[in-house]
Amino acid sequence: MDVIFKYEETEHLPVSTISVIGKFNDYDPSKGKMTKQNNEWIFKCDLPSGEHPYKFLINGELKLNDSTANIYLPDDKEELWSIVMINEDNQRLYNNTQYTTHIQKYNIGCAISEEENIANKKKFNLPLDKKVVTRLQFTNVTGLHTVTTAWYNPVGELFQITENNLFTTQNNNEKPIMLWFWMDLTDNTRSYPFGTWTMKLFIDGEFILEDQFNLLQQATYSAQGKYVGKI
């Protein structure tokens, strides 16, 4: 069956190259290169019946699910993938169920905490702070979702990607769900340039929000995270 994959480029994530990768092309970006038509990237291929997991590989470094797929299944490592399902009659199957998720609270700080009220902190002292932590509190979660954070250094290079699955169990369908994503500042094998960093949040491959914070050297700040000045 001929299948057309589409990815719509937005200003939040400029694309220089993008490929469809999946089991059907051995996860090889060279076999799934997409071509651009206006703001839309397109790739066509012929797929047999069965379940076909895939993702978009953007700029050779960032893997995101297809936000329009509406079918996501885990692999043996519990990583969620977008799925194309084709039956024996060579027909593509779609999931018409509308799944939901809502971000009730978002915080950024330097510690993993379940405290209800946390002051947002936008300036971090590299010698003193151990982590930059983003905390998200979700409600109204139905279905399976992938939450991805992409962290960019001051010159716009992708520094790291952190990802987690989001779902509600039958015994916990009303209590808010908290997820933490962080950048470890104590890894001596990596370089942490001073300046303004950017964190971009995606849910099921769809851009949700962007936040910025500063890494400072020998800076002082109050207990509320207010910048005071350099030592």
The confidence band for 225, taking pLDDT boundaries of 50, 70 and 90, is low
pLDDT at position 172 is: 62
* Structural domain count, the chain: 2
- The last residue of one of the domains, among 34, 63, 93, is 93
Cβ-based neighbour number of residue 231 at 10 Å = 9
Torsion 195-202-163-58 (CA) sign? negative
Q: What is the pLDDT of residues 205-221, one digit of tens each?
A: 999 999 999 999 865 55
CATH number (domain holding residue 83): 2.60.40.10
18/108 same-domain check? no
DSSP 25: G
Domain that holds residue 149: 102-230
Q: What are phi and psi of 228, to 5 degrees?
A: -105, -45
179/81 same-domain check? no
- The last residue of one of the domains, among 42, 70, 93, is 93
**Average pLDDT of span 36-60:** 96
71/118 same-domain check? no
75/125 same-domain check? no
Measured CA to CA, the distance from residue 5 to residue 30 in angstroms comes to 15
Q: What is the pLDDT of residues 18-46, one digit of tens each?
A: 999 999 999 999 999 999 998 899 999 99
In the predicted model, is pLDDT for residue 84 greater than 60? yes
Q: What is the pLDDT of residues 88-98, one digit of tens each?
A: 999 999 999 99
115/168 same-domain check? yes
Over the Cα atoms of the chain, what is R_g?
20
What is the value of pTM for the model shown?
Answer: 0.90
- The last residue of one of the domains, among 93, 121, 154, is 93
